């Protein structure tokens, strides 16, 4: 099949939400409908064995939360679906932000009981910044929650995006019976089915169908008629251009746990979501149907398979055709690499692929060649934008608890910070290792993984700093003077760039005023590509 046909078949998207909104459960049900799995395991922190496909790390199974982006792919109605299930917890937001650079659209999951929450707002800010098309799934409609009209109001005010109901719930809480598709003018009633694909009990285009009235009840049907009239009067009608440009969010109601409304969401998504589009690089815009391959690494994961201690770089293909065993140009290292076992994923289950196309995510076995943001091409020097590291707000020194495992500790710290779960800074004298994160939970994950994957034990000693900023200046004399004066608060990142640790916002402000020729960067994307 030709390249353009393959591109049209692809849908690559992320599922994002506040923790516990049901994002991973929704992912499971999409996989279920796609035939990728036969039964779904609900996320329950007190039922360790019954864990979801996408939560594959041991700590995720024990805590019942997602702490790492999972990549899953399946085929549905001749469409290749690439799902990136992201961490919901705010401490892992940086992983989610990077993942959003590798997708063409997003499904945002909102809890109907809690409404819009803090992390939901932050994620939507990133989507708006990138003009990423967004669909919204209002989950847990089978629980007593906020009135649907109030949720829609809240979404528009809090997320600053117009919403367009695509389906509408028939009742809520214990009275939740199903969904009405406002565009197909079709009612679908589902039986609650948590682990397998449920069959529709009633599917009818006639809202006055006697069978529907008998099953749902005349009171619920009358309420649905009233709601439909209000929806048509009060909210935007669906507009493909506004959705694709990120200004209008089609909205769906359901219960992921019980398979209510999930099929409606999946089939509409495949119909209207964009296929892979153009992507901006520092040098130019890359179009997906260009003949030559381009792609960038947005995630690295060590020990994906604990039995083999492998390290895999996740690369989003942006243009051309990726082929197994072909040489590609690594633009940062300026050398050619060949990949004999590129993989596609179902969470941690992998299969070797011979070729892949724009929108696909391939796993490349990595012996240490890749860093987050690295680019592969067929010779052209390109650098993709939008995969920076963010200024960490918590900084702690690594303390080795087992001197006999020093090498394992060094290797583990280096590899995990390569993955982007945290940032490593080295400080002299003593070659102190300082790890910077945006959240407390990351230290728990690092400590857990160091012990269970590398056999190394450590502790983290608190440091009196609230922010790390990268330093650049055209004035070498002033830069040297600053580094000498602030030597106790200076460290270097893994690329040997100087970093300043500030004890307070006031100290950072003072440093900026006293050294005007130095720029204090809060993200790592200041670095100038090689010419």
pLDDT category, 418, cuts 50, 70, 90? confident
pLDDT category, 136, cuts 50, 70, 90? very high
What is the percentage of the chain residues whose pLDDT exceeds 70? 82
Q: Which tens digits make up the pLDDT trace of 227-266?
A: 888 888 888 888 999 999 999 999 999 988 887 888 889 9
CA–CA dist 70, 57 (Å, integer): 10
Which domains are assigned to the chain? 3-272 (3.40.50.300), 279-377 (3.40.50.300), 394-521 (3.30.70.3280)
Tokens of 302: 């060590």
Is 60 exceeded by the pLDDT of residue 134?
yes
At residue 323, what are phi and psi to the nearest 5 degrees?
-125, 135
Q: Are 478 and 518 in contact (CB under 8 A)?
A: yes
CA–CA dist 322, 365 (Å, integer): 15
For the segment 399-406, the average pLDDT, to the nearest whole number, is: 93
Give me the sheet containing 186-190, strands edge to edge. 167-170, 178-181, 186-190, 200-204
Flag whether the pTM goes above 0.85.
no
CA–CA dist 146, 493 (Å, integer): 47
Q: Which tens digits make up the pLDDT trace of 5-28?
A: 999 999 999 988 887 888 888 888
Q: Which residues of 100-134 are buried (b: 16+ CB within 10 A; e: fewer)?
A: bbbbbbbbbbbbbeebbbebbeebbebbeebebbb
């Amino acid at each position: 099949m030709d390249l353009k046909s393959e591109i049209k078949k692809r849908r690559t998207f992320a599922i994002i939400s506040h923790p516990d909104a049901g994002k991973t459960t929704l992912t499971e049900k999409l996989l279920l409908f796609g035939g990728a799995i036969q039964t779904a395991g609900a996320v329950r922190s007190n039922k360790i064995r019954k864990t979801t496909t996408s939560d594959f790390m041991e700590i995720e199974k024990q805590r019942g939360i997602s702490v790492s982006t999972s990549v899953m792919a399946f085929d549905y109605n001749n469409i290749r679906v690439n799902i990136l299930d992201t961490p919901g917890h705010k401490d892992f937001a940086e992983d989610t932000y990077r993942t959003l650079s590798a997708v063409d659209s997003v499904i945002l999951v909102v809890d109907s009981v809690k409404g819009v929450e803090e992390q939901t707002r932050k994620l939507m800010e990133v989507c708006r910044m990138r003009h990423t098309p967004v669909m919204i799934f209002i989950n847990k409609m089978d629980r007593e929650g906020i009135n649907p009209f109030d949720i829609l109001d809240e979404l528009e005010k809090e997320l600053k995006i117009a919403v367009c109901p695509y389906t509408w719930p028939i009742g809520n809480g214990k009275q939740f019976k199903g969904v009405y598709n406002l565009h197909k003018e079709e009612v679908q009633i589902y039986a609650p089915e948590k682990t397998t694909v449920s069959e529709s009990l009633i599917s009818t285009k006639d809202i006055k169908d006697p069978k529907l009235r008998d099953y749902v009840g005349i009171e619920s049907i009358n309420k649905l008629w009233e709601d439909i009239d209000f929806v048509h009067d009060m909210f935007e009608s669906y507009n493909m251009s506004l959705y694709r440009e990120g200004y209008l969010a089609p909205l769906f109601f359901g219960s992921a746990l019980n398979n209510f409304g999930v099929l409606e969401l999946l089939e509409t998504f495949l119909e209207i979501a964009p296929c892979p589009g153009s992507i901006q690089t520092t040098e130019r815009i890359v179009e997906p149907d260009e003949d030559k391959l381009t792609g960038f690494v947005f995630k690295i994961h060590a020990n994906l398979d604990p039995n083999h201690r492998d390290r895999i770089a996740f690369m989003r293909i942006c243009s051309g055709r990726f082929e197994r065993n072909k040489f590609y140009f690594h633009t940062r290292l300026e050398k050619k690499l060949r990949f004999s076992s590129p993989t596609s994923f179902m969470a941690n289950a992998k299969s070797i692929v011979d070729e892949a196309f724009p929108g696909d995510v391939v796993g490349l076995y990595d012996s240490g060649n890749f860093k987050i943001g690295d680019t592969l091409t067929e010779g052209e020097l390109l650098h993709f934008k939008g995969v920076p590291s963010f200024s960490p707000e918590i900084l702690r020194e690594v303390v080795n608890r087992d001197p006999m495992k020093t090498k394992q500790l060094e290797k583990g710290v280096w590899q995990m910070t390569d993955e982007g779960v945290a940032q490593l800074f080295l400080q002299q004298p003593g070659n102190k290792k300082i790890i910077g994160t945006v959240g407390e939970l990351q230290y728990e994950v690092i400590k857990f993984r160091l012990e269970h994957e590398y056999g190394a034990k450590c502790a983290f000693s608190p440091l009196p700093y609230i922010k790390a900023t990268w330093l650049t200046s055209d004035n070498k004399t002033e830069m040297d003077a600053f580094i000498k004066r602030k030597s106790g608060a200076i460290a270097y990142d893994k690329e040997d760039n100087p970093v300043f640790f500030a004890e307070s916002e006031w100290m950072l402000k003072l440093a900026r005023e006293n050294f005007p020729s130095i720029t204090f960067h809060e993200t790592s994307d200041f670095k100038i590509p090689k010419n």
